[in-house]
Structure formats: C-alpha cells, structure tokens
Amino acid sequence: MSDWQKHYQNFPISSFLGNLFGQREFLEEIVKLIPRKALEVGAGSGSLSIFLSQVGFSVIASDNNRKVLELIRQNNKRFGGKINGVVLADSFRLPFRENDFDLIFHQGLLEHFPDEKIVALLKEQLRVAPRVLFSVPNQNYSRKDLGDERLMSGSRWQKILHEFPVVWRKEYSPKVFPRWYLPRARVQQMFFIKRRDYG
C-alpha cells in the first residue's frame, strides 16, 4: 500500500467536510473563474472535484495511483458527487489533447517535487489548459503530512515560477500557530498562472 493510499484510505464525512472548509477560499477562486471544463491533477481524496461537481461544474479527477482512483470513485458515490471521469494519468504526460480543458487545478501537489519538475509539470498542464490555479502550503505550515513536502515562502515560489505569467498570488487559510495567543498566520498560498497566448 502506497503512502498516498494510506493517507486517503479512511475518509469519513468529517474529513470530507473539513477538507472543503479548509480549502473554501481556494474553491471560491475556482468558482470565480467559471470553468466550462476543469481537470484536477493529483486529486487525492477527490473532495474538491466532488464538491465542484455537486455545484454544477464539469470536472475530471486524475491521479497516477490506481488504488487512490478507486478511493475517489468510492468517495464520489458516497458523497453524491457527479464527477465526469476519474482518470489514471502521469502528470508529466497527461493523456489529453491541447486545450481539452479551460482550467487545471490542484491542491497540495507541487510541494512534493524539486524545482525543475515543478516547471515541467506546469508546462504540461498549460499544454492541456490555458489556465492553472494551484495551492501549496507555505513556510508557516506546521507539519509535513507525508514527509517530503517543501514548505516554501511566496518569494521562493515566485523564483521557481519566473518563466510563467503569474496573474496573482494569494495567501490564505489563517491558523493559530504555534500558540493560541500569537497572531494567526496564513499557512497556504495559491497561484493563478496562464499561458502567454491566453487573453
């Protein structure tokens, strides 16, 4: 059993709702972009795709792990999702044509890769869709969920993304860290990038 499969294997309704609540600002930004057809890369539990499908968006969820995909299918059925497809996909060679989607999104994916692979992943995503919205934890995030996360500042991410048109960056998800009496710190950040030929 892979680490990702273990991570998502037990996914009660409280985890589904907690994930949606923790990512509500990210979900709001996806909804504002009004995608006609969206792809989630590295969909994990599938909760974001499930929610977006429930509110009327056409969404396909992809992951590179067959067992995780089966968990997404189970979660989609259990939580009343309407995901249009659950697809086995190598994120470096997505099995889609150019412009098959008008938005790709993912949360908690890129921090697991070195700089050059992050660039390669985003180039491939921008082949398949002209817009990409992604979220990663920042340096204030209090733990490494799987152990290989790179918890980097916005300025460090901006350096990695220097060849992409970054439309905007936003920090979100304030948490009490590390003590209740200290100021609340935002522990996640999202970036919206687009292909240069996209209006």
The enclosing domain of 37 has a CATH number of 3.40.50.150
Domain with 176, as residue range(s), is 3-194
Report yes or no: 10 and 153 within 8 Å, Cβ to Cβ.
no
pLDDT value at position 144? Answer: 77
pLDDT value at position 1? Answer: 46
Please indicate, yes or no, if residue 199 is contained in any of the structural domains: no
Tokens 């990210």, residue located: 26
* Buried/exposed 7-23: b ≥16 CB within 10 Å, e otherwise: ebeebeeeebeebbebb
pLDDT value at position 178? Answer: 57
pLDDT value at position 19? Answer: 83
Please choose, from the candidates 46, 41, 30, 32, the residue with its C-alpha nearest in 3D space to the C-alpha of residue 128: 41
| Dist CA 10 CA 72 (whole Å) | 12
Please indicate, yes or no, if residue 62 is contained in any of the structural domains: yes
| Dist CA 53 CA 122 (whole Å) | 24
Number of domains making up the chain: 1
Positions in the chain whose pLDDT score sits under 70: 1-11, 175-183
Q: Flag whether the pTM goes above 0.85.
A: yes
H runs (alpha helix) in 10-102: 13-22, 24-32, 47-54, 66-78
Please indicate, yes or no, if residue 161 is contained in any of the structural domains: yes
